[in-house]
Amino acid sequence: MSPWQPPAERADAYVLGLMDEDERRAIEADMETDQELARAVGEARDHFLELDLVGPTSPVSADLWSRIETRLGSQQTAIREASPRPAVNDNRLAGWRGVGLSAAAASLLLVGALSYTLLQRAEPQVVAILMNAEGEPVVMIEDFGNDTAKVIPLTDVSVATDRSLQLWTLPSRDTGPVSLGVLDGWRTAMIEGPDLPGPMEEQLYEITVEPLGGSPTGKPTGPILGKGFAKMPRP
């Protein structure tokens, strides 16, 4: 991690434990003379305090970063080639808050650094990293708030030929889960859902395994592939 990165990004990486030993020693030395960096670290600790309190952390697999970087890198290449040449929400479900919190926060930080800074594309209103029951990142959801969301797989998933994957969100407990669409295969894709209020921080998203073509009841019926809460992208 370069010392020329913005203090907030270095502070987030330091607090979340994403630095190696040399980087950690370097930022601790810099904090002794750089008041802005020291202040950013303090703010990051406050920002991520909730993650330390809600439950045990889950380890991040050794190849997680390379897999996310590879997937986002391919998107960046596609966007560059396609571009012309220069001329309060109530979705806090305690049962899932303690699953994979460290991995979710770390994934979100890396995604923020890569997708919003490097790709320079339209920014979603919220981003959610969906985790499986083992605390492993499965997919990233970007909700743009115009009834359109982007599904970005973070790992390989096999689905039986007689089953479909369906994306859901929970705008409120009164509304209940609402389908954002049935996925057409396990790949990066845009989906268009129903007319909903703009997404909010902590809004719940999940993907379930349903009968072919989607849930017959209009509500989730099958096993949960991944589940997570939305966060607003950090500038």
The token duo for 44 is 């990051």
The answer to the question of residue 75 being in a domain is no
Task: Tell me: do 40 and 124 sit in the same domain.
Answer: no
What is the rounded average pLDDT of the residues 38-61? 59
Distance CA 170, CA 165 (A): 17
Residue 178 confidence (pLDDT) above 80: yes
8 A C-beta contact, residue 222 and residue 207: no
| pLDDT value for 116 | 42
CATH code: domain of residue 132: 2.60.40
Give the domain extent around 15.
Answer: 7-47
| pLDDT value for 95 | 45
The answer to the question of residue 234 being in a domain is no
The answer to the question of residue 235 being in a domain is no
Helix intervals (H) in 2-48: 7-15, 21-31, 35-47
The answer to the question of residue 214 being in a domain is yes
Best CA proximity match to 73, nearest among 31, 110, 115: 115
The answer to the question of residue 148 being in a domain is yes
Cα atoms in the 13 Å half-sphere on the side-chain side of 123: 15
Helix (H, G, I), strand (E, B) or coil at 159: coil
Amino acid letter for position 22 = D
Exposure of 75 by Cβ count < 10 A (0-12 exposed, 13-18 middle, 19+ buried)?
middle
Residue 55 confidence (pLDDT) above 50: no
Q: CA 135, 140, 142, 143 torsion: positive or negative?
A: negative
Task: Tell me: do 100 and 213 sit in the same domain.
Answer: yes
Length of the chain: 235
| pLDDT value for 186 | 92
Angle subtended at Cα 61 by Cα 156 and Cα 31, rounded to the nearest 5 degrees = 130
Q: Which distant-in-sequence residues (6+ apart) come within 8 Å of 210 by Cβ?
A: 163, 164, 165, 166, 182, 220, 221, 222
The answer to the question of residue 180 being in a domain is yes
| pLDDT value for 52 | 45
| pLDDT value for 4 | 61
Check residues 150 and 93 and name the one with the higher pLDDT. Answer: 150
The answer to the question of residue 84 being in a domain is no
**% of residues, the chain, pLDDT over 90:** 29
Distance CA 53, CA 50 (A): 5
Task: Tell me: do 157 and 218 sit in the same domain.
Answer: yes
| pLDDT value for 8 | 82
Distance CA 111, CA 212 (A): 31
Task: Tell me: do 37 and 100 sit in the same domain.
Answer: no
8 A C-beta contact, residue 35 and residue 41: no
What is the rounded average pLDDT of the residues 86-98? 47
The answer to the question of residue 71 being in a domain is no
Residue 66 confidence (pLDDT) above 60: yes
Q: Which of 77-86, 106-115, 127-136 has the highest mean pLDDT?
A: 127-136
Best CA proximity match to 57, nearest among 66, 48, 46, 69: 48
End-to-end CA distance of the chain: 19
Q: Write down the residue that tokens 């810099």 correspond to.
A: 30
